[in-house]
Amino acid sequence: MHSQTLIFGTAGYSALITLALLLLTPIPGHAESGNPSICSEESNYSKRQLNSNQVDNLCETHRGKVMLVVNTASRCAFTDQYEGLEKLYSRYRERGLVVIGFPSNDFGNQEPGSEGSIKEFCRLTYGVRFPMYAKSRVSGDNADPFYRALAQAAGTPPRWNFHKYLIDRDGRLAGSYNSFVALESDRLIDAIEGLL
């Protein structure tokens, strides 16, 4: 296990308490049935691969797969979740799961580095092989359109780093899990296995 340092701002412990309250607010584990597909025929979410010029259409590239979409950061107390994400990807990739990472500096300035440094950190520290895409805004008015669609389907945008959205093979949201939900938790594993 790798240790990371959470960088506290001047707000200190009060910021931690606020974060805990936000993250512990219940989020539905599964979207309502009948939710429209995030990857409908009208959707066109093209994203550039991390530190690359190659652009993928997310819905085309990962069509027919179960997607676990995660906003990541390299300087967060949850950064060790990279290890669990890679384990999930390795374990279920052949059955149709793809983990998709979106580095973001939206929360606590915890992903300030360049795309090159992010990619190197992920590979060297955690052996990340799952697809990672360009550094993105995942919340607020300027959020990436893909993340806006996810937030609309889930009823909530990410509230911190390492929020997880689970999307079924038909492109519909199947679950939304906050940062505290561990990658090895029965709740998440059961949901993934139920979709594969």
The residue type found at 18 is T
Among the listed residues 39, 59, 76, 122, the single catalytic one is 76
* CA-CA-CA-CA dihedral for 38, 23, 195, 145, to nearest 10: 20
Secondary structure (3-state) at 67:
strand
Q: What is the DSSP letter of 39?
A: T
Q: Is 39 a known active-site residue?
A: no
Residue 117 near residue 84, CB atoms below 8 Å: no
- In 3-state terms the chain splits into helix, strand, coil percentages (rounded to 5) of 35, 15, 50
**Would you please indicate which residues are annotated as catalytic (active-site) residues?**
76
